[in-house]
Structure 1
Amino acid sequence: MIGESTSVDADRSAPVDKKGLAKAFAASLTGTALEWYDFAVYSAAAALIFPQIFFPDSDPLTGTLLAFSTYAVGYVARPIGGFVFGRLGDVIGRKQLLVITLLLIGVTTFAIGLLPGYDRIGIAAPAILVVLRFAQGVAVGGEWGGAVLLSSEYGNPRQRGFWSSAAQIGPPAGNLMANGVLALLTVSMTEAQFESWGWRLAFLMSALLVGFGLWIRLKLEDTPVFKALQESGERAEAPISDVFKTQTRPLIAAILSRIAPDVIYALFTVFAITYGTRKLGFDRGEVLAAILIGSAVQLGLIPLAGAISDRINRRLVYAIAAVGGVAWSALFFVVIGGSSFPLLILGVVVGLGFHSFMYGPQAAFVTEQFTVPLRSTGSSLAYTIAGVFGGAMAPLIFTYLLSKTDSWVPIAIYVLIVGALTLLGLALGRDPDPTEDEHYALMSAENATRATGSAK
């Protein structure tokens, strides 16, 4: 049951490489921060700029739907990345795949910043945009699973909720940077300048994050757990088929657990821009500022939630936050209905607060559903498949429901349905077993000791 507690024996904790752990935490955080910087910049541009730049012949609503469709392509492509890179994480290691995915994310984002608009190259502009977005999604599909394992497998498995949150801090950190850059650009130039060339600067700046992330990742060794798998010969030969054959229930549980957080996050960080500016008349800068404040609060709440889930049953913390997030999603529209800027801030901050208490424990919950030799593949598949049904579809469904009904009630019902699916996933899941990691971590430490002795 979700409310059951997990008893652990703190005396059996595996040795921890503190220096490697610090590097792994930083490497995990910077990679996912870049990923979500890119996605946050893209989502804001899809709501504000892309309809005019890449779909100028469409009416405003159709242009927004088309722009959000290219946003969705990034999610639809993620399972391919999960299949390709998730498998590689179980075969060649966590570090190698993370270098590849970081380069691919950075190159595609930079290229979007250089892409000419429809007025310059016609239909080729949106076509190339879709291709770049697809490539970006493939890279992101492989990034998350490896980033989570990089930090969690270096850390104490009895504190997996906290250490895994490194990858989870990436979205608000990236969102914070993206909206900060966008807010700075909007106040430092005219609207015509921003729509003409200013928005491109936000994409081009991703090169700085790529350089920093590569510098950290290239200096890092692979995780002790993967080293032990490699040395013991226990690596899976066919991890994808093994996951579908032997890990069906864990895969379903992990997929369902992720859907509501994705949808709720899209509501408060993507759709809120469209709804706030077009329905309620908020200034674009006001909505971006509210998201900026909410993302800043998440920087502290996500690791806190992860740490709390190490002390209190992880599934229970997750479930309570899911119920709160669903309820607040409906109240959000009531709270901001009067077009009050302080209430807009309150609505976004509280919504992202509930999201934090799902998202903080999420990485640990997803990874610990799978056996260690299949953990990278299983986690990546769950993350990417859930993204298609959650984050990819949410902005499109929100926009469609609003256009057809001119009411937020169907949107609230939609969030309620996905919330129920996530609770089902949590009920199907299992509680953590830290001894699985400790076995491999101790094996790795013993192998390192023998190697040191032989060298002498």
Structure 2
Amino acid sequence: MTTNEILTTGQRDAAVLTGAPADITSTSNASNNDTPQPITPEHRKVLAGSMVGTTIEWFDFFIYAQAAGLIFATQYFNPASNSSASIAQIIAWASLGISFLFRPFGAVIAGHLGDRFGRKPVLVLTLVGMGGATVAMGLLPTYAQIGLAAPLILVLLRILQGISAGGEWGGAALIAVEHAPTNRRGFFGAFPQVGVPAGMLLATLFMLVMTTVLTPAQFEAWGWRIPFISSVVLIGVGFFIRRLVHESPVFSEMEDLKKKASAPLSELFRKHLKTVVLAALIFAGVNAAGYLAIAFFVSYGTGVLGMGRPIVLLLTCLTAVAWIVSTLFFGAASDRWGRRRTFALGYLAMIIWALPTWMLIDTANPLFFGIAVVVLGVLLGVTYGPQPALYAEMFPAQVRLSGVSIGYAIGSIIGGAFAPMIAEMLLDSTGNSLSIGVYIAVISAISLAAVLMVPRTGVQGRNLHH
């Protein structure tokens, strides 16, 4: 096969920017390029940098989610807990979700800077912002010590986490996809996605160790702070790894061609608003279900069902492992099956599993609880692994980082931002957990409809410009 038959990502982007014709292989020729291209040492650096750095940042983000379900209602939103434990928990979940409102702001900043100055500087900046806020949370006095300042500062730090997270995902995803061999974008894009369940696993393991080796009184007094403060070590590790990764080849080629001077954001909203909306809706379903797995199940299992905290945390760890394996598998599978088909299968399965999940969980039996959440972890990977490749194929190169970051940020607001809070409110008003299952089924159906509206890009996703 000649180089004219299959163009590299950067060559096709160059053709689009200059108006030159591009010989893009059609879907009918996909079978001729099914042999995986070799992974080079530079590829390995990119995969390690995108996955490890993302894992560290999401550890920071999710350790807050774990603490919101276990600690913050009583220690930082104490006036509410004095009147109603459920209201205090709803407020704690709201503090978890408020940071999502600032993700688009982070995405705007990161997208604009990343499209102009490169992906890597943005990744380093967001890493420091996220980690610094996490360490500060671990040192923050409680409401009993400094009064109203405690929850206010906690929320401000959470907002800083939201801004950093909004700028994090798009850069990490694209730096992997843009380095990928032509027919392995789904597989490469799955590596930064692994950072989410891996961060969840790391955060949950930390909480599991703390709750196992400490007494409940010790954990609530100071033990919960240790995972937050330890983030200072993880920042150093992630910073070192990301320094090893070279800049995206697509960005470098765009610089050589002196890309258009118009601001990426203005072009994005003028020409690609519909695509941004579709990207947001596609992500909403998996993000809503994911935040139940990340945060709500632990709180529900211990607070409502009366299960032991260590066993629920252990089952949450198994859910994260299933999510990791599934993300890698279905990211690679999307290179063969196509992005839309993989997503559609995932969301159909999510809709079907939404109610049985809660029927099994409500038994309070560790085996059935584990089956429910581990199967959900597998289904999360089906619609999460292929996401970076699908998003990259939806936007042209000159607005790609802005487009995927903002679409992702808005989708996280629609989906996961207040999913635990909505679940708590549904449970409080109906007294029936099946109402939460209906909520997940409905939002998954909306995401499924959005996926089916995305134009086909070929089984291998070769055409990155439609």
TM-score by length of 1: 0.91
Q: 1:33 and 1:384 mapped to 2: Cα distance?
A: 18
**2:231 paired residue number:** 206
Amino acid at match of 2:76: F
**1:31 paired residue number:** 53
Q: Judge conservation of contact 1:249–1:428 (CA < 8 Å) in 2.
A: no
Q: CA deviation at 1:194?
A: 0.6
Q: CA deviation at 1:6?
A: 6.8
- 1:95 and 2:95 equivalent? no
SS in 2 for 1:141: helix
- 1:20 and 2:45 equivalent? no
Deviates more, 1:335-344 or 1:146-155: 335-344
C-alpha offsets along residues 374-396 of structure 1, whole Å, 9 cap, x if unaligned? 11000000000111111102111
- 1:109 and 2:134 equivalent? yes
**2:380 paired residue number:** 355
Q: Judge conservation of contact 1:91–1:237 (CA < 8 Å) in 2.
A: no
SS in 1 for 2:224: helix
Q: 2:52 and 2:253 mapped to 1: Cα distance?
A: 26
SS in 2 for 1:35: helix
Matches within 5 A, 1:125-204: 125-204=150-229
Equivalent position to 2:405, from 372, 375, 380? 380
Q: Judge conservation of contact 1:253–1:424 (CA < 8 Å) in 2.
A: no
Q: 2:77 and 2:444 mapped to 1: Cα distance?
A: 34
Deviates more, 1:290-299 or 1:255-264: 290-299
- 1:43 and 2:68 equivalent? no
**2:268 paired residue number:** 243
SS in 2 for 1:281: coil
**2:8 paired residue number:** none
Q: Judge conservation of contact 1:367–1:379 (CA < 8 Å) in 2.
A: yes
Matches within 5 A, 1:379-398: 379-398=404-423
Amino acid at match of 2:126: T
Amino acid at match of 2:286: P
Amino acid at match of 1:395: P
Amino acid at match of 1:149: L
CA RMSD in angstroms, aligned pairs only: 2.0
Amino acid at match of 2:350: G
**1:263 paired residue number:** 288
SS in 2 for 1:237: coil
Matches within 5 A, 1:254-403: 254-403=279-428
Deviates more, 1:236-245 or 1:64-73: 236-245
SS in 2 for 1:84: helix
The structure-2 alpha-carbon separation of the partners of 1:372 and 1:403, relative to structure 1 and needing over 3 Å to count, comes to same
Deviates more, 1:45-54 or 1:206-215: 206-215
Q: Judge conservation of contact 1:36–1:175 (CA < 8 Å) in 2.
A: yes
Q: CA deviation at 1:281?
A: 1.5
Q: CA deviation at 1:248?
A: 2.1
Q: 2:361 and 2:439 mapped to 1: Cα distance?
A: 19
- 1:57 and 2:79 equivalent? yes
Q: Judge conservation of contact 1:149–1:164 (CA < 8 Å) in 2.
A: yes
Q: CA deviation at 1:273?
A: 1.6
Structure 1, unaligned runs of 5 or more: 439-456
Q: CA deviation at 1:36?
A: 1.8
Q: CA deviation at 1:39?
A: 2.2
The structure-2 alpha-carbon separation of the partners of 1:388 and 1:183, relative to structure 1 and needing over 3 Å to count, comes to same
Q: CA deviation at 1:5?
A: 6.3
Q: Judge conservation of contact 1:6–1:431 (CA < 8 Å) in 2.
A: no
Q: CA deviation at 1:410?
A: 2.2
Q: Judge conservation of contact 1:236–1:373 (CA < 8 Å) in 2.
A: no
Q: Judge conservation of contact 2:394–2:464 (CA < 8 Å) in 1.
A: no
The structure-2 alpha-carbon separation of the partners of 1:12 and 1:340, relative to structure 1 and needing over 3 Å to count, comes to closer
Q: CA deviation at 1:19?
A: 2.2
The structure-2 alpha-carbon separation of the partners of 1:387 and 1:11, relative to structure 1 and needing over 3 Å to count, comes to closer
Q: 2:108 and 2:197 mapped to 1: Cα distance?
A: 26
SS in 2 for 1:57: helix
SS in 2 for 1:423: helix
**2:94 paired residue number:** 69
Structure 2, unaligned runs of 5 or more: 1-25
**2:13 paired residue number:** none
